[in-house]
Chains A and B, each alone.
Chain A
Amino acid sequence: MKSAVITFPGSNCDRDAVDALQKIGAKIQKIWHQETKLDDDLDLIVIPGGFSYGDYLRSGAMAAISPVMQEVKRLAAKGVKVLGICNGFQILTESGLLPGVLTRNAKMKFICRAMNLRVENTGSAFTRGYKKHQIIRVPMAHMDGNYFADAATLKKLEDQDLIAFRYVDENGNLSDAANANGSLLSIAGIFNEQKNVLGMMPHPERAIDVNAGSDDGLALFSGLMDR
């Protein structure tokens, strides 16, 4: 698998993404955001977490119009897989590759802890390594992760089964307490219609080693490898 990890000014999880991709044996290109050409034979593009442009204006808004994003859009339209994590999810919504927007956490707190996620849809390259409704432990660390979209968009996400992960309690149940950032429908991650673009607030690349708390994120990356 040939992958690219994009670095924006203020990205800080690009190294973690590279580590995760190395662990599954992927070929990796490290790409600066001013790049205007990406290889056509890429299988995966990772938009990593961090605080691109210091989260100025709106999280992800300025990175969304970096030159490289034109290429990300072009390749995503051709079916190349795109994974946006945390700030990467914010960049994908701001660029229009995914619907909705990530707003300030409802309780106005930066949340940095392991979350229980329920895998809602295993019918994608990103989630085929999991069982339906499997509960995984993945850390998150953000201030703006409160998923918001209009009613029509939420209905479409549900009707077309485009919700990848939801925040749940340890028994797999939805609750206000488990939905720490206040996201509508407890959304932690969503796909585009073709399911080749995934955006998620929690960090699977930080859950690839049991010695560091969890390796529940590894199946997401290994699922992306050719089978």
Chain B
Amino acid sequence: MKLRILISLKKAVLDTQGKAIESVLQKNLGFPQISQVRQGKVVEMEIAESDPAKIKKIVDEICDKLLVNKIIEDYEYEVIQ
């Protein structure tokens, strides 16, 4: 199974990269209709497990121990067949 984990900064956290991207999109590329840009991270991996409950347990553990800093980040994931 292929896993895709999406990590995003919590709303309350200043997203400097999102702000920089937004500024360039608006001012340098001429897209004034774009706002509230937020940049996150995507981590993809193979997992030798098919039971959704077991996958969730593993994802929660690896996010807790390494991939996500819960003080500033949230995450969600999807299983890609």
Interface residues of chain A, those whose CB is within 8 Å of chain B, are 57-58, 61-62, 65, 94, 100-101, 103-108, 146, 148-150, 182
Contacts and interface: CB of A to CB of B under 8 A. Distances in A.
A63 to B, nearest CB: 11
Contact of B66 (A65, A104, A149): A65
6 contacts: A62-B66, A65-B66, A100-B71, A104-B14, A146-B14, A148-B72
A61 B69 contact: yes
Instruction: Bin the interface of chain B by size.
Output: 10 to 19
A103 B10 CA distance: 12
Contacts of A105: 16
A100 B69 CA distance: 10
B14 A94 contact: no
Given A65-B65, A106-B16, 20 more contacts: A57-B41, A61-B66, A61-B69, A62-B66, A94-B69, A100-B71, A101-B69, A103-B14, A103-B16, A104-B14, A106-B14, A107-B16, A108-B16, A108-B17, A108-B19, A108-B20, A146-B14, A148-B72, A149-B71, A182-B14
